[in-house]
Structure 1
């Protein structure tokens, strides 16, 4: 009697043969070997002494590891797509695969969702060349994401001039993809995103302008509809906030602040922080924003009940005259009297001075601020900041009252001088003494 041949495993059956229901399969030796080699290679790279390498080898190592990062991400995307197909998140009740993956990997949900979307896109034939370029190390992850997004953003139809609806040939998307893949060899993701927005002008010029106009109209409408501004006082002397504005408004604000923060307008001392180091750009832009608000012309602000949008600062005569005191703002918050005196020189505030019985003595004088003509005359006379050694030009200066306006000083040329924002703050800082010299210049010294 001949032996019965053993049953051959079915195609696609798991390695290791049959297992009882409910038990975990043994780890695939193929996967184990591949992962062991990956970890061994990374360990070997980590043991390389960078200090002993030539410049060329450091550059080569950086370039290759950068490419390897893209290749590894492509493999991660491939496995995530498989996990999505198998709905592995169902085992933990996750609504989406990226939620299940985020919990396992300690990635943020947003990061896991971005990679999961990219993984699903790579499974489509249209995006297969982009996936291959990433796997070959010719593309970076953010470049791949931009290319996929730009290609998917190409609509099925475009409303051409004359009200005619044109159907976009499917081959146009492939042309757009190939053009952006070629451009990725020379441009980073930021430039690719800009190119992707106008890709139809390259691959389908007859439709590109109409599509761009329609896209811009949608974006502008969305920007107008979602504009918002939020600001909160933290109770410790600072305000924090966030905003969303149309792009062209953001560009205008940015240009204004960069002009105010321009190093050419400031002295070396103004560009350094308290420790003597250079102020980072964020700090300089923050200071520029303060100057932007403080110097906004009060006559240009809208009126409510006949009054411009100004801040009213209340203080007693005693508080106004002493060095260390506080002033009350009309929103219930406080500032130092020195700060109030400084703002009274130029900013849009109305000081209200009270006597000991809280009776108003002074509600602001009409000539508190220097006129445009007076500012021009001060600029011609002083040439710029009158602090010795300061080179800030007249356009970057404030008009300061030598005899403080808050103490009865007149708003005239004899009582005025130009000071840059930094020295203007020092002039009202009780920690510093300002000395005027015969040459009309002033110096500052910290009080001991």
Structure 2
């Protein structure tokens, strides 16, 4: 380029930049938002003034508010995405949701979570159209988040081309004003079903595993709904709990086996109690594997502490005799747990230093009580909790001779009625 041509080029550049200010986008953003705030203030009505608006203008005004809300959410999403790309939330060691809530205390946590979900998929070329639609105001934030969450669930099971095609379908559905939120949810669910149908059996199993999840939604004060999407194998396990012995009617009986109180729980309540019993079995015995009493064989071996050797034959909890040689061999395997018993059958006592029974203590309780210790109950030990006969809150100690096994139903019953029990010679007697 010669000097003359270069001069002409620079003149054109100068002419193009005439009147341009480097901070123009910032000024337009700030001025636009401030102007919108002022205009909304002018458009506001008091309750008495709203009464004077006719039906048709009222409908039009509500529709305008909806469009404004969508547009405002689009602006908020665009700014939040830029903030996320710069790592502003990471600079103060916050998640994007928490950072948005700090900067905008008025922002509902649900909307902050929705922004985070859309931001998460907008960075992928295959699903970027979701973020673009929300930023342009074509898709409401909550509908865009619904699509984004669906695509995140499917991400591990889709190729790039498939992900783009699915995202196109879902985004187009979200932009349709004639589709309700429920209809859009059906579209998203249908995408999941179609994905599983398209897969070969082995791929379908892997895809179902990728789609596993648990969601929660607050129903009302004091009540939360959990929804579980489980692959077939896990579903069979969960169904076994919900339809097994733990979910069966369990009337209260006295020591003679006579029913003293009918089980008035609804079927759904019994299934809930069964599922909770399994969960509490896992968290109520820290350090012990969930299958402790179901998958292992316990051998009861009398032990002479003076000589430091076994003192008598080994037996199983059910009373079966085990030859010494076989007991010694079995005690070395991972599937058998030897339980060494003192002269009086007393296991380790931890006093008041530990809140929960140790795995060894729980096994000792299982051997002694052989299940729920409440009169007439046949619940096996693997579904029982270790109960402090002297309540922990009242200074009770975590000692085996002051604990007893109780199933979930009788554990609740004992606490509700503040029942007491005594232990004599390895037998628990409840004072009913």
Shorter-normalised TM-score: what interval? 0.3 to 0.5
TM-score normalised to structure 1 length: 0.40
TM-score normalised to structure 2 length: 0.42
